Structure 1
């Protein structure tokens, strides 16, 4: 019973997310992280949103395998550009450090692509537990989120 209620609760929470909402998920274990993440990504795909997930603790292969198990044709989604799974090293810590200007440009570009490709929205997940390792520039991560929230509030996607 608990497992069924847990899954229902996760799905209800994900279903309640609206365009331009910003949510923070604090999890106790990797199972909780994966369950919410997979549900969140699947929900975005079903709503015809472009989905980008930046991961730290999960490998791209593991996440794609889990999404496939939930019925998503991940290869087709990746090939048409609706789904991107990236690592924190390829994005947040490209060149070995966090650069707020580079990340703002990255997200502006992805938002423009989503709008040009006529997706209903750009759905983003960005795991931030890498910040605990305190890489160079990580102190600006929260500032980036604030700037992006302001940017995304004024666009119509």
Structure 2
């Protein structure tokens, strides 16, 4: 089946896509640009503390997907379908038209994550593979915004849910797919949010888009040597941040010296 026309059909789907969607929103700040490195894919965690924070991120994320000719799926939990559609409508999205065309789909977590009666990590990976393949036959990409509070209430182990998040990273590395997993910080224990941070390459928190230097790749997070890998990563991050601070300090000193010379050129001839 031929793909639907869009103003961005010649664009290469990449990390720039969701970052640009947030960059164009005046509500956001932070390093909204592509990140160099091997651990780079389109998998975000949105950590929010109110519906206003939540939809300030989700609305531009989905709006851009629709503008690019992608199929956008929203999975509800805390928010009702009516609330989601109202927020999207308030954000300038023609919800009725997008829904009628099939470009916008709003589903419940029961119909997605628990569609077989129970949550199964490998089953979800197979499900995503099928959905992405089917979607990209007609649309430019698959874009997902999923509320995740259901894992606290439906007999889902935190270990399984974090393993799922980690495996999404592997899957999305090779697919035209983008996801924002939404976590309500007021509902989840701190230790769960900590692991959420570890398994997402990119974070959205407090109206800030962050490249996540706490991210742990799937092979390390799910592997038997996780403590050793985490220690290596912590120490490496410590060295990197110290080096960056030192470089910034030296640049400030250099700039200060240049400003002094501009103000008093005679200083150029002093030691």
TM-score interval, normalised by the smaller of the two chains:
0.7 to 0.9
Gaps of 5+ in 2: 1-24, 178-271
Distance of aligned partners of 1:65 and 1:151 in 2 relative to their CA distance in 1, 3 Å threshold: same
**Other-structure match for 1:93:** 114
Which of 60, 66, 88 aligns to 2:87? It is: 66
**Other-structure match for 1:8:** 26
**Other-structure match for 2:55:** 34
Which of 104, 114, 120 aligns to 2:125? It is: 104
3-state DSSP of counterpart to 2:111: coil
Which 4+ residue blocks in structure 1 deviate beyond 6 angstroms? none
**Other-structure match for 2:105:** 84
Q: Distance in 1 between matches of 2:149 and 2:116?
A: 19
Deviations along 1:106-142, one digit per CA (max 9) or x if unpaired, are: 21122112210141x2211121122222524564222
**Other-structure match for 1:4:** none
Q: Distance in 1 between matches of 2:133 and 2:150?
A: 27
Q: Distance in 2 between matches of 1:155 and 1:131?
A: 25
Say which one has the larger Rg. 2
Q: Measure how far apart 1:61 and its partner are.
A: 1.5
The normalised TM-score by structure 2 is 0.48
The normalised TM-score by structure 1 is 0.78
**Other-structure match for 1:56:** 77
Which of 169, 173, 177 aligns to 1:149? It is: 169
Distance of aligned partners of 1:33 and 1:137 in 2 relative to their CA distance in 1, 3 Å threshold: same
Matches within 5 A, 1:119-130: 119=140, 121-130=141-150
Whether the 8 Å CA contact 1:99–1:137 is kept in 2: the answer is no
**Other-structure match for 1:113:** 134
Gaps of 5+ in 1: 1-6
Q: Distance in 2 between matches of 1:67 and 1:80?
A: 16
Distance of aligned partners of 1:20 and 1:51 in 2 relative to their CA distance in 1, 3 Å threshold: farther
Q: Distance in 2 between matches of 1:102 and 1:83?
A: 24
Matches within 5 A, 1:12-23: 20-23=41-44
Whether the 8 Å CA contact 1:98–1:138 is kept in 2: the answer is no
Of Structure 1 and Structure 2, the greater helix share is in 1
